[in-house]
Amino acid sequence: MPDLETIAPAFVEVAHSIVWATVATVDSAGRPRTRVLHPYWEWKDGELTGYVATWQTPVKKAHLAKSPYASVAYRAEGYGDCAIAECAAAFAPDDAIRTKVWNFFQNTPEPLGYDPAAIGVPGWDGPTSPAFSVLEFRPWRLSVLTKDTLMTKGPAGAVSWP
């Protein structure tokens, strides 16, 4: 069984190579709702955190108010790598995090990086713009399945922690 120190870097490698994730939340009636998002993951000092540059729509706010959790899943084409994070989800509370995330995306090479100001969201002219928000993911469970694992039917790499 892998440990967090082994699986978290593998998760980040798969996630950042695939870039786009299917993210599921739960609506106010308890039904799943999925969307495609572009998280950036940071593995630092034994903690894994995912960040999404976004805006606080009424739907996202209502879902997280009802159930502050999300499932974040990546799957490469064909029989490619897969990675899943089960997470607590919340909007980041301060300008320091928003600035950090803006800079992550702006200073990272494509396809993972991009210029947040260039995507055409009204009011996104900088990290402290009122329209710019950051959704944070803090996982408690990770799963990573590589193409090799899938093809050989070997054991999946998964780890949960408190």
Look at residue 78 and tell me whether its pLDDT is greater than 90: no
Look at residue 1 and tell me whether its pLDDT is greater than 80: no
| pLDDT value at residue 30 | 92
Averaged pLDDT for residues 51-77: 94
| pLDDT value at residue 101 | 96
Maximum alpha-carbon separation in the chain: 49
| pLDDT value at residue 5 | 87
pTM greater than the 0.95 cutoff: no
Averaged pLDDT for residues 9-37: 95
Domains and CATH numbers, the chain: 4-160 (2.30.110.10)
Averaged pLDDT for residues 39-68: 94
Q: In the block, which residue shows the tokens 């009204």?
A: 122
Alpha-carbon torsion angle 96, 98, 99, 100, nearest 10: 80
Q: What confidence tens digit (pLDDT) does each residue in 113-154 have?
A: 999 988 777 778 889 988 899 999 999 999 998 776 655 555
What SS3 string covers 116-143? HHHHCCCCCCCCCCCCCEEEEEEEEEEE
